[in-house]
Structure 1
Amino acid sequence: MSKIKVLVVDDSAFMRKVITDFLSEHPQIEVIGTARNGKDALEKIQSLKPDVVTMDVEMPIMNGLEALKQIMEDHPLPVVMLSSTTKEGAENTILAMHYGAVDFVPKPSGNISLDLYKVKEQIIDKIILASRANLRGIKQREKSETIASSQQRPYSKIEVRLLPKDHKKKIVCIGTSTGGPRALQQVLTQLPKHIAAPIVIVQHMPKGFTKSLAQRLDSLCDISVKEVEHQEELKQGVAYIAPGDAHFIVESSGKSLIAHLDYSPPRNGHRPSVDVLFESVSKLSDYEKIAVIMTGMGSDGTIGLKQLKEKGDTKAIAESEDTAVVFGMPKSAIATNLVDDIVPLEGIAEAIIKYTGGQGV
């Protein structure tokens, strides 16, 4: 089995050495070179042809974001960003996900992290995962985003039809992981402002980054998008993203739905967990549910989907392999034979609208 060839990009000689040393210890990884800034990285990519690039964000001459944009235009490669946990660092990380980075790892203590060993296993795992990522999915998203931005939003003319008073209310629940921020942008920007359901979301992401993700999405969407707060009432036409490091549980209270943040142990290594969210939604007897599982590693959401289907009144949508950056979570859901619609990313919003009662004019 050939090794994964990695280019390490960081302006700090110390960081380049630390990252190179611990990556080189792994039997599946070979560091074939290092670069001190984005310009240097672009030149090294041409000559060394790495399989994966690790990219610092803050660098002189050409920073990581500028280099990432150029890489995805000229030589599309899986890129894993190393980012700081400051507010600006979180915002830049979300931008990097939009530009096409497969994943990111937060540095434990700023740009020069003497304790980088704390996230050694995370970096190794994400490099291995990135080496298998579906870059076709990213390129297809770029194409569909370009088409959408040159026109009016594809679903901007969709209206929500009024439902009979005795018709059940609806809730949309979405689970996603690696590749998810960009997938969420593609889906949420196509939903009409007055969609007749609250939208509850688990995106696997560390604490401190989900707020920046929600703020960016809110600036782009017709619907409102926010990081959910404990005991917040959930309203139609609003998308609520679970904060990093907290499970998102939906509870019924009279005629309202209330968000509950829970700090019980991670489920399958995740907090927030898609399974926890879906299981809580399955207990809402007066609601029809639309469950969506998109790109991500592993099987989070599959157990929750089974519970949703056992309780009835659930339509399930999974992202197809063609567009999923990582097909693990959708594949696991599809294997249950409980998924109603298997669609490429650009068709997920339309499927959601179909089940929430929206119709084209």
Structure 2
Amino acid sequence: MVGGVRAVVADDSHFMRSVISDILDDGGIDVVAQARDGENAVEAVIEHEPDAVTMDVEMPVMNGIEATERIMAERPTPVLMLSAHTDENADVTFEALDKGAVDFFTKPGGEVSMEMSRLKDQLVEMVVSVAAVDVTAAGKAKRSSTGSERTATTQSSTSAGAGDTYVENPTLVVGSSTGGPKMVETVMQNLPAAADLRVLIVQHMPEGFTGRFAERINARSEYEVSEATDGARIGGGEGLVAAGDRHMRVKNYRNGRLRARLTEDAPVNSVRPAVDVTMETAAETIDDPLVGLILTGMGEDGADGIRRIKAAGGSTIAQDEATSAVYGMPKRAVETGCVDSVLPIDDIADGIIDTITTEES
């Protein structure tokens, strides 16, 4: 799987360039060039045409955001941002994702070389995953395509049509990973407030970034969205983003309001927060209409949760391969046989609405 992946490593620290390059080399990835700033990174990408770039956020001459934007314009290449755990870096990292970066990896604090070594398998896996993403103009067009790939079970409307009405007290649980932030935002932007959904979002994202992610969704959608806290309650028109490094469980559900519980239980599917934890507890606890959605990401997290939601009588949707940055989680969900609809990203909001509308007689 790793064989043949070629990477450029960009970081203003010679030490970090060496550490990252050694980890990738040990993992079977060919580091074809190192760059000390963003300008060097752009030059290296044009010269060596790598499969992926690891890009530091803060660099002299040209920072990671500017370099990512230049790369996407001049020689589109999958970029994995390397960011520190700070609020400022969280803002910059999301800006880089807006400019075309595929995902990000958080640099550890403390004894960096020891911590990076501990995380080496994860870093190698992420670089390999990012390298497989098509970021060319054709790939972007394909991933933003609309219309033709809808399944027979769905229609085409982001609001209840004439003669239709929304069911009462619906809940949506969303799971995503690599390439997911922009996909989650797309879905949430297209959901009408009138649908009155309770929304639970589990994005594989470290502590320090989920709060900013929730703020972005809140600003860009009609829903009131916040980072989950232990004991947080939400009703219709509100949403919670699972906090980094905490599982989000549905503790109870009464009269259209649900309460979340955050735990530090062991990782599930090697991740925390895990989509399965939220979906399974939602399926066990919520007795009103429930919709499970799996978006782009690597791994199998969410597949068992989809089974549980389907078994509880809920509706299930997965993003299609053509519009997924990484068709891992959606593929595993589809393979369960418990997914009702497989849809391109621009049709998913419609698909959700279709599951929570009823035709009036």
Pick the TM interval, shorter chain. Answer: 0.7 to 0.9
Residue 229 (str. 1) matches residue 229 (str. 2)? yes
CA distance in 2, matches of 1:138, 1:215: 28
Cα separation, 2, equivalents of 1:88 and 1:358: 45
Per-residue deviation, residues 19-57 of structure 1 (Å, max 9, x unmatched)? 22232223x211111111111111111111111111001
Identity of aligned residues (%): 37
Distance 2:214 2:222 in 1: 13
Within 1, Cα distance between the matches of 2:144 and 2:4? Answer: 31
1:248-263 to 2 correspondence within 5 Å? 248-255=248-255, 256-263=257-264
Residues 265-303 of structure 1 show CA distances to partners (whole Å, capped at 9, x for unaligned) of 111111111111111111235311111001011111111
8 Å CA contact 1:177, 1:204 repeated in 2? yes
**Paired residue type of 2:222:** D
Structure-2 separation of matches of 1:336 and 1:102: 27
Aligned to 2:191: 191
Residue 260 of structure 1 aligns to which amino acid in structure 2?
A: R
Deviation at 1:311, TM superposition (A): 1.9
Structure 1 portions without partners, runs of 5+: 146-154
RMSD across aligned positions (CA): 2.6
Residue number in structure 1 paired with 2:330:
330
Offset at 1:131? 1.9
**Letter aligned with residue 225 of structure 1:** V
Q: Structure 1 counterpart of 2:249, which letter?
A: I
- Name the CA distance, whole Å, in 2 between partners of 1:109 and 1:123: 15
Code of the residue aligned with 1:307 in structure 2: it is R
Aligned counterpart, 2:52:
52
Deviations 1:126-168 (A, max 9, x none): 11222222436961388679xxxxxxxxx9983699959xx65
Matched residue, 1:218: 218
- The answer (yes or no) to whether the contact 2:201–2:241 under 8 Å persists in 1 is yes
* C-alpha spacing 1:289/1:143, structure 2 compared with 1 (3 Å): closer
Q: Give the alignment of 1:281-360 within 5 angstroms.
A: 281-312=282-313, 314-357=314-357
Q: Report the Cα distance in structure 2 between the residues aligned to 1:144 and 1:212, rounded to whole angstroms.
A: 28
- 2:62 counterpart residue number: 62
Give the C-alpha shift of residue 251 in structure 1.
Answer: 3.0
1:1-361 mapped onto 2 (5 Å cutoff)? 2-26=3-27, 28-109=28-109, 113-115=112-114, 116-135=116-135, 139-140=140-141, 158=159, 168-255=168-255, 256-312=257-313, 314-357=314-357
Seen in structure 2, the aligned counterparts of structure 1 residues 93 and 322 have a Cα distance that, compared at 3 Å, is same
Deviations 1:177-219 (A, max 9, x none): 1111011111111111332210111111111111111112222
Residues 347, 246 of structure 1: alpha-carbon distance in 2 compared, 3 angstrom cutoff: same
Q: Deviations over 1:5-29 (max 9, x none)?
A: 1111111222222222232223x21
Q: Please, which runs of 5 or more residues in structure 2 have no aligned partner? A: 147-155
CA contact (8 A) 1:91 1:213 kept: no
User: Is 1:20–1:31's contact at 8 Å kept on the other side of the alignment?
Assistant: yes
May I ask how many residue pairs the two structures share in their alignment? 345
Q: Give secondary structure in 1 for the equivalent of 2:300.
A: coil
Secondary structure of the residue aligned to 1:287 is coil
Q: TM-score, normalised by structure 1?
A: 0.88
